[in-house]
Structures are given as structure tokens and as C-alpha cells.
Structure 1
Amino acid sequence: MRPGQPDMNMILQQAQKMQRQLAAAQEQLAQAEVTGQAGGGLVSVTTTAAGEIRKVTIDPKVVDPEDVETLQDLVVGAIADAARAAKALQEQTMGPLAGGLGDMAGGLGLPGLGA
């Protein structure tokens, strides 16, 4: 190995470590739950951080057969709120892993792996 040349074994070991960390983070997100609300909590939706809807709760006082549109809007709003919470948790969980490979292999000049 010439001076200034990256150690390929070290890079491969770090990439494998990051792959394990990424898999663990994805599993964590698949299990973690977030809740979104609309109408001051009249409608709530619980999803996994990976986006799987687990539970929808609707307060009976918002159920009006004469105004189904409002209930529909509240459900959509609660789903959107849960999606925002899931995305925030994804960014918090995955953020540290996102730049790691680029930082590690930045000296290689490979596309997508740093400067």
C-alpha cells in the first residue's frame, strides 16, 4: 500500500459495521410506534415509524352521519401527523448512519462516496 492510499480492509470492515447498524436501525423503526392526532385529539392514528398503521381511534362525538366529510378530513389529518412524526423519528434514527460511508471513503473519489 502506497502512502496516502486508503486501507481497503479497513474500509470494508467499516462498511460491514455500518450495514449492521443500518439493519438494526431499520428493525428499531419497524417496531417503534408514533401517534398522530387531528381535531385536538378527536381522531388519532398510531403507526410504526416505518409507516404501518396499527390503530385508529375516533372519539364518538365527532361521528356525525350528516357530516362525514369532517370525519374523513380528521382521519387524513391524523394520518399525515403520524407520517410527520414517523419521518422525524426516521431522520433521528438514521441520520447518524446517512453520512458515515461518505465520510469514511471520502478520499477514494468514488461517486456517491464523498468528495
Structure 2
Amino acid sequence: MRDLMGMMGKVKEMQEKMASMQEEVEKLELEGTSGGGMVTVRLNGKGIMLGLSVDPSLINSDEVEILEDLIVAAHNDAKGKVEAAVQEKTQELTAGLPIPPGMKLPF
């Protein structure tokens, strides 16, 4: 019975840590760039775009497709950084817990 109580306490502690981690993730702001820094996208930890910066030299009606591609590339760069940061925080949180390999957190 003691083991069950101890496990329940660990579950509660884990829930509190997860809630704290989710708050931290929401506060993250990461930038992705493309075109040698000519396009910058800023995302929060949930992947919501907070800002976009485009070098004025890229604004040319004849090269719209290039600009669009650079924006997508910068967004993908920022999104990758957000995912890496979330994964790192999750690993810190779950260190030492017997979680099966490949199980993704947060759920």
C-alpha cells in the first residue's frame, strides 16, 4: 500500500512539473532565419508566429516566389528550434522516470 501512495505522490509531483513546464514553453520566443538573415520569423513555444521581419531589398514584385520560399524556410527553422527546446525541457522533466522509449510528452 505504501508503494501505491508513493507512486500517487510521484504522479501528482509530475503533474505539477508538467504544468510548470507548459507555462515555461508558452513564454519561449525563438527565431528562425533564412536568406542569410534577410528573413526572420519569431515564434512562441506553441508555434504561434509572433513576428516576421523581411529585409526591404527582398521586396520586389518580380521575385515574390523567392520571398515566399524564404518566409517558409525561416518559419520551419524557428519551428524546429521550438520543438528542440520543448523536447529538451521534457527530457529534463522526465529524467529518471521509467518512460518507454518513443513515448512523446507532453501528451
Task: Write the distance in 1 (CA, Å) between the matches of 2:18 and 2:28.
Answer: 15
Pair 1:39 & 2:35 matched? yes
Provide structure 2 residue ranges, at least 5 long, that are not aligned to the other structure.
none
Q: Contact 1:36/1:85 (CA < 8 Å) preserved in 2? A: yes
Pair 1:30 & 2:26 matched? yes
Match of 1:95 among 77, 91, 96: 91
Match of 1:56 among 52, 55, 58: 52
Task: Write the distance in 2 (CA, Å) between the matches of 1:86 and 1:92.
Answer: 10
User: How many corresponding residue pairs?
Assistant: 101
For the aligned residues, what is the CA RMSD? 2.0
Q: Which residue of 2 aligns with 1:109?
A: none
Q: Contact 1:34/1:85 (CA < 8 Å) preserved in 2? A: yes
Task: Write the distance in 1 (CA, Å) between the matches of 2:31 and 2:82.
Answer: 9
Aligned-residue offset at 1:52: 1.1
Q: TM-score, normalised by structure 2?
A: 0.86
Q: Contact 1:18/1:100 (CA < 8 Å) preserved in 2? A: no
Aligned-residue offset at 1:101: 4.8
Which structure 1 residue ranges, 4+ long, deviate > 6 Å from structure 2?
A: none
Q: TM-score, normalised by structure 1?
A: 0.80
Identity rate, percent: 30
Aligned-residue offset at 1:70: 0.2
Structure possessing the higher radius of gyration over alpha carbons: 1
